[in-house]
Amino acid sequence: MKLYLKIWRQKDADSKGQMVDYELNGVEGDMSFLEMLDVLNEKLINEDKEPVEFDHDCREGICGACSLMINGEPHGPDRLVTTCQLHMRKFKDGDTIVIEPFRATAFPVIKDLIVDRSSFDRIQQAGGYISVNTSGNTVDANAIPIEKENADDSFYAAACIGCGACVAACKNASAMLFTSAKVSQFALLPQGRVEATERVLNMVRQMDLEGFGNCTNTGACEVECPKGISLENIARMNREYLQASMKG
């Protein structure tokens, strides 16, 4: 395949970026999207040009690092896959592909396609933990009965990999889907109820402090989420938040 790539290039956080055109031959359908970028970078290095910086780690849909906007969609045209799991067979010979970083005030561009998503880390730090008594009489987690439905919903919420596609997909750059997944995975379990009130208040406060926008129920986040995180988590977080506010 021959592809025409339009890629966002930006020297550093303070520079003005721009789209740059590249032509790339020899792209195979079995390549992943990141392997296609590897081929481009090999070519650029051989031509003594600066390679395109992009974020990646696991390359198997686990770490959430490979956050790219591909033809206007976070993680590209496929559903329930990350950029590293997207295959080039989704494109055809002669296609033009526009590749940009995730855009949000709370995700500033560091270089080219890499953004700083430490705002997500700070939301996690604000409440993504439980206090466990480790003084010798800790109850084995498996000794506490949990309804299957709650265990399953908690597990599904915990599948969030913190990629940021929900933010990038949202016209308000809202982080409600991410934050609600992080609140829900604890709120549904007895072990997470101990700090439930402060957790939801602190995580939502941090989310607002980071500059994420409000949720206006467009549902774009759920559509683009590679892990199928449900909007039900947002409804649950809103209920948790209301209850916690009344207690406060």
Q: Which positions lie near ligand FES, rule CB under 6 A? A: 56-59, 61-66, 82-84
**Strand, coil or helix: 43:** helix
By rule CB under 6 A, what string of x and - marks binding of each residue 115-154 to ligand SF4? ----------------------------------------
Cβ within 8 Å of residue 74, ≥6 positions away: 67, 68, 102, 163, 164, 165, 166, 168, 169, 224
Distance between CA 181 and CA 75 in Å, rounded? 19
Q: Quote the least distance from Cβ 150 to ligand SF4, whole Å.
A: 19
Q: Which stretch binds ligand SF4 (CB under 6 A): 48-56, 85-93, 122-130, 221-229?
A: 221-229
Q: Quote the least distance from Cβ 173 to ligand SF4, whole Å.
A: 12
Distance between CA 183 and CA 181 in Å, rounded? 5
Task: Give the closest residue to 181 by CA, choosing from 158, 164, 147.
Answer: 158
By CB under 6 A, name the one of 27, 109, 160, 201 that touches ligand SF4.
Answer: 160
Residue 24: CB atoms within 10 Å: 16
By CB under 6 A, name the one of 61, 76, 127, 164 that touches ligand SF4.
Answer: 164
In the chain, the amino acid numbered 236 is R
Q: Decide: is 225 part of the binding site for ligand SF4 (CB under 6 A).
A: yes
Instruction: Name the site residues for ligand SF4 (rule: CB under 6 A).
Output: 160-166, 177-178, 181, 225-227, 229
